[in-house]
Every structure is written in structure tokens, then in C-alpha cells.
């Protein structure tokens, strides 16, 4: 059985997919299998280019596009490896990625998942920046209350973690955030400061095309996580019913943040009320928005007077400064 199973879902045949697959073949760590999940294209191995002819590559074919969560779960179910590595169809794994991550997982038996720093590339493969990365387990756990602490497809982890925490399709476009938020609550997650992935940004990405829907589902992930930490039921169906108009026709991100700031207040979640009020202003910095967001933040302070200092830091400075977290600095040129 292979040591590492690399899960690569794809829902279209693009020029990026053979590049992603080839980056797996080029790994310095040789004991792997690539499980490509064809999410309804019918292209099979041909979509992977020359890499599709390697006998370590298998394709799991789904009859239609069921979304990323179902595809990843199908890949995990078909995988035979001790470890599961994530890779998106448009990204590139650096040559020593699996060598470094398997070594980290072997060195620390308590480590469930390990990500890495990553650079950002455009559709031509040119580096255009660096991704956001927090490395320590405590930082990963804390920041997962708000957003992803490292680039989602940079993670490699123990098979049992993926089996205990399957991806949930109801968090469309935020299923990776939901997965990591649940794992970090009770598990041990870290990231290596060394860049081991190139994350591609292009116009065909789901995150580029469906920003409002992603903002909506990410906000629901935050609320569900806050409820779990308070030992409350997640109440996903109830939340969707209360916020039905948002899910039926997602409005702008600014409107989503406004509604979730107010919803968080009603649910007794002042931290998320202040956080979403901050994001509301960031999405729509007009004077009227600032006034309404400040009122919402004030109501959060009144609801939780013992946390005034923290909530003010969160609202005015953001979660990094509020919690004293330091992301990996971009390497010098």
C-alpha cells in the first residue's frame, strides 16, 4: 500500500490539471498514489495528460458534478494510503512537499494534519505573491474560528482524520474551512513555514466566481463552530431557515456580513457579531455602513461587558492582533 494518497478532484478538463498531476509525479518522495476524482466530466485519465498513464494514478468517476465535498470524500474512500494529501486541480505541489510533510507527521505522532506555506501564481504560472500561513497548532486552532489558517490544498494528514471528519456538502465553497475548523477543535494541526505549494489564482476558480456564496457559507461555518465551542447544537437547518432569503439568493458580501453580525447578536455570540461587523465595513466602507456596524459592535460590548477589551481589539484590529498571532513573512526577493 502507498504511504501517501493524493486526492485531486476536478470538474472540468483544463490545461492546469496535467500540470498539477505532473507535480505529483515529480515528487522526491516516491511512495504515493494519485486518486483523481472526475466530478462528472467523463474525461477520465485523458484529462491528466501524460501523468494519466502512470500506473500509480487512478481515476474515480462520478456521474455528475456533486461538488468538491462529495468528490473529496469519494477520493478518501478510494484511497489506500496511510496519509491523505490534498491538491486542487489547478495548483502545483513543490518537489519536496510529501518528503517534508510525511517526515513531520512521522516525527510527531500527535500531529493530525500538517499544511505548509505557499506562494500565489497566476494562470501562466508566474508568482504574484504569497499566501497567508500560520504555523503553530495554537495559532491554527485559534484562527480557525474566523478563517483558514493556511492554504487548504497544502494539508497532508492521517487517513483516520479524514474518515472521522468527512467533508460536508452543505458548506458549499467553504467545505475546506468547515473541515479544518472541526479538526482543529479536538486535533493537533500545524503548518510548515517552508513553501511547498503554488496556489493558482485565475478567473475560472470557484472562489473567484462565487464570492458571495463562499462568504455566506463561511459565515455559517463560524456560527456552527461557535455553537460547538459553547456545547450547543449546531442547528444548521434552523439557521438556514431563519436566513432563508440569503441562501435562496445570496446578496453582496457586505449584506451577508451585516445579516450575520445581527444574527450573531441574536444567538448570543458577541465575538462573531463584532467580527462580522468589522467585515461588513471592510466590504462596504461607506459612512452609513460604518455607523450601523459601530452600533452593532456596541451592542456586542453591552452583551459581553467582561470581554470589552478583547472585542474592541477584534473589531478595530482584527483577529491576528486581537490574539497576538504572527503569520509567516513573505520570503525576501
Q: Domain ranges in the chain?
A: 4-202, 210-322
Measured distance CA(315)–CA(308) in Å, rounded: 10
Write down the pLDDT at residue 43.
87
Q: Which residue has the cell 447578536?
A: 265
Residue 225, H or E segment: helix 211-229
pLDDT tens track of the chain, all 333 residues?
999 999 999 998 899 999 999 999 999 999 999 999 999 998 888 999 999 999 999 999 999 999 999 999 999 999 999 999 999 999 999 999 999 999 999 999 999 999 999 999 999 999 999 999 999 999 999 999 999 999 999 999 999 999 999 999 999 999 999 999 999 999 999 999 999 999 999 876 555 448 999 999 999 999 999 999 999 999 999 999 999 999 999 999 999 999 999 999 999 999 999 999 999 999 999 999 999 999 999 999 999 999 999 999 999 999 999 999 999 998 765
The torsion angles phi and psi of 10, rounded to 5 degrees, stand at -145, 145
For residue 222, give the C-alpha cell. 463560524
For residue 36, give the C-alpha cell. 483523481
Residue 19: which residues within 8 A CB-CB, separation 6 or more?
92, 125
Q: Which residue has the cell 505573491?
A: 129
Write down the pLDDT at residue 204.
66
Nearest partner of 89 among 194, 14, 163, judged by Cα: 14
CATH code for the part of the protein at 4-202: 3.90.550.10
Strand ranges in the chain using DSSP code E only, listed in sequence order: 4-10, 32-39, 57-62, 83-86, 92-93, 113-121, 127-130, 156-158, 189-200
DSSP conformation letters of 82-117: SEEEE--TT-EE-TTHHHHHHHHHHH-TT--EEEEE
Measured distance CA(87)–CA(104) in Å, rounded: 18
Contact status, residue 201 vs residue 122, Cβ threshold 8 Å: yes
Contact status, residue 45 vs residue 59, Cβ threshold 8 Å: yes
**Count of Cβ atoms closer than 10 Å to residue 120 Cβ:** 16
Measured distance CA(330)–CA(319) in Å, rounded: 20
Amino acid at each position: 500500500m502507498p504511504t501517501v494518497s493524493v486526492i485531486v478532484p476536478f470538474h472540468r478538463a483544463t490545461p492546469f490539471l496535467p500540470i498539477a498531476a505532473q507535480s505529483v509525479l515529480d515528487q522526491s518522495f516516491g511512495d504515493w498514489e494519485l486518486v483523481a476524482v472526475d466530478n462528472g466530466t467523463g474525461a477520465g485519465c485523458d484529462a491528466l495528460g501524460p501523468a494519466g498513464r502512470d500506473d500509480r494514478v487512478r481515476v474515480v468517476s462520478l456521474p455528475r458534478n456533486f461538488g468538491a465535498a462529495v468528490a473529496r470524500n469519494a477520493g478518501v474512500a478510494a484511497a489506500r494510503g496511510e496519509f491523505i494529501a490534498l491538491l486542487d486541480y489547478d495548483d502545483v505541489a513543490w518537489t519536496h512537499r510529501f518528503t517534508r510533510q510525511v517526515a513531520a507527521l512521522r516525527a510527531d505522532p500527535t500531529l493530525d494534519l500538517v499544511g505548509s506555506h505557499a506562494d500565489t501564481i497566476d494562470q501562466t504560472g508566474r508568482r504574484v505573491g504569497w499566501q497567508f500561513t500560520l504555523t503553530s497548532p495554537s495559532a491554527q486552532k485559534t484562527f480557525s474560528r474566523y478563517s483558514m489558517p493556511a492554504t487548504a490544498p497544502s494539508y497532508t494528514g492521517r487517513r483516520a482524520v479524514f474518515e472521522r471528519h468527512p467533508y460536508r456538502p452543505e458548506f458549499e465553497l467553504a467545505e475546506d474551512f468547515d473541515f479544518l475548523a472541526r479538526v482543529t477543535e479536538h486535533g493537533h494541526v500545524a503548518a510548515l513555514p517552508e513553501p511547498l505549494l503554488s496556489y493558482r489564482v485565475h478567473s475560472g476558480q470557484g472562489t473567484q466566481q462565487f464570492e458571495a456564496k463562499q462568504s455566506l457559507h463561511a459565515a455559517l461555518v463560524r456560527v456552527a463552530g461557535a455553537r460547538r465551542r459553547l456545547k450547543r447544537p449546531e442547528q444548521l437547518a434552523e439557521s438556514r431557515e431563519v436566513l432563508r432569503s440569503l441562501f435562496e439568493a445570496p446578496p453582496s458580501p457586505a449584506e451577508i456580513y451585516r445579516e450575520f453580525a445581527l444574527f450573531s447578536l441574536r444567538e448570543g455570540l458577541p465575538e462573531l457579531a463584532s467580527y462580522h461587523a468589522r467585515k461588513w465595513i471592510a466590504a462596504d466602507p461607506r459612512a452609513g455602513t460604518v455607523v450601523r456596524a459601530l452600533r452593532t459592535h456596541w451592542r456586542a460590548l453591552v452583551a459581553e461587558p467582561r470581554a470589552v477589551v478583547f472585542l474592541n481589539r477584534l473589531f478595530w484590529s482584527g483577529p491576528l492582533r486581537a490574539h497576538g498571532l504572527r503569520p509567516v513573512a513573505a520570503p525576501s526577493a
